[in-house]
Amino acid sequence: MVIEDEEGLRESIEEYFSEAGNVCETAGGYQSAMAKINLYRYDCILLDITLPEGNGMDILKTLKENNYPDGVLIISAKNSLDDRLNGLNLGADDYLVKPFHLSELMARVSAIVRRKTFNGSNLLLFNELTIDLLAKEVKVRDIPVKLTRKEYALLLYFIANKGKVVSKNAIAEHLWGDGIDMANNFDFIYSHIKNIRKKLMEAGSNDYIQAAYGMGYKFTEQ
């Protein structure tokens, strides 16, 4: 469920998530959003705080007052600590500041949905890959693969965005945060990816990561 007043952004998100095989509904305003959340339950709600007819925080309050189990990810242009804390205190699961990459959004949503649906289970399975999310361990058919922290984060990111081309900018910002102003130096991303591929293939996994037109990488399921 996407609650976002900016049409262009709403459409992009919807398209990106639908293509990845999710069922997506949208609401462009406060009223329609309220109507929908009171009728249906969603795995995750993407909530914009600044809506034309009302405040997104009120929607969040309604959700929590009624004990609806929907995961909530706030997307907001306001990057102030107060807003962030406010949102998280009210029971939001995550807070993402605009502008963001769709792949980042997808990774965050996947994390929320994973937490909601696989209660208790910490294992993420992908073909022959098994990832223990608590211990942060990766195994290929029971053969453990030693990945560095960044490589592990990158692998999770790719799995969340499987089948999508992920731009280098998005990867850089995901790994180093947008505070670190190094996004134009992509060489080390290349070396990270080279390492992951090497380690996974040495453990007997398929090669899932493909370079995409020099702009990014694609994690394909085949």
Partner 1 sequence: MRLFAKYNRVNLIATVIIMLFTGIIYYQAISWILNNQKDNDLNVEEQEIFNYVKLNNRLPQIFESNDQQITFTPVRPNSVKREYINTMYFKKWNDEQGYRRHNRQHKRDGEFEAGRGLITSVTVNGKYYKILIVESKVETEDLIRIIFFITISVILFLLLVLMVINRLILNRLWKPFYSIMNELRLFNIADNNEIPKLDTAIDEFRELNRAVLAMTAKAKYDYKDLKTFTENASHELLTPIAVINSKLDTLIQTENFSERQSKILSDLYGAVSRLNRLNQSLLLLVKIENRLLQDQEMINFRELLEEMIAQFEEIFQDKNLKVTCTLSDKEIYATRYLVEILLSNLISNAIRHNYNGGKININLTDESLVISNTGADLALPDEKIFTRFHKSSASEGSGLGLTISRQICENFNFSLNYQFQSPFHIFTIEFK
Closest CA to 208 of 216, 187, 33, 200: 200
The residue (of 125 and 182) whose beta carbon lies closer to partner 1 is 182
Number of helices (H) and strands (E) in the chain: give both, helices first. 8, 12
How far, in Å, CA of 56 to CA of 37, rounded?
12
The residue (of 63 and 157) whose beta carbon lies closer to partner 1 is 157
Q: Which residues bind partner 1 (CB under 8 A)?
A: 6, 8-9, 12-13, 15-16, 19, 50, 77-81, 98-103, 150, 164-165, 167-170, 173, 176, 178-185, 187-188, 191-192, 212-216
The residue (of 163 and 204) whose beta carbon lies closer to partner 1 is 163
The residue (of 28 and 216) whose beta carbon lies closer to partner 1 is 216
Minimum Å distance from CB 131 to partner 1? 22
* β partners of residue 3: 27, 47
Minimum Å distance from CB 9 to partner 1? 5
Count Cβ atoms below 10 Å from residue 130 Cβ, excluding itself. Answer: 16
The residue (of 134 and 213) whose beta carbon lies closer to partner 1 is 213
Count Cβ atoms below 10 Å from residue 27 Cβ, excluding itself. Answer: 23
Minimum Å distance from CB 192 to partner 1? 7
Closest CA to 153 of 185, 186, 138, 175: 175
Minimum Å distance from CB 19 to partner 1? 7
Minimum Å distance from CB 138 to partner 1? 19
How far, in Å, CA of 87 to CA of 56, rounded?
10
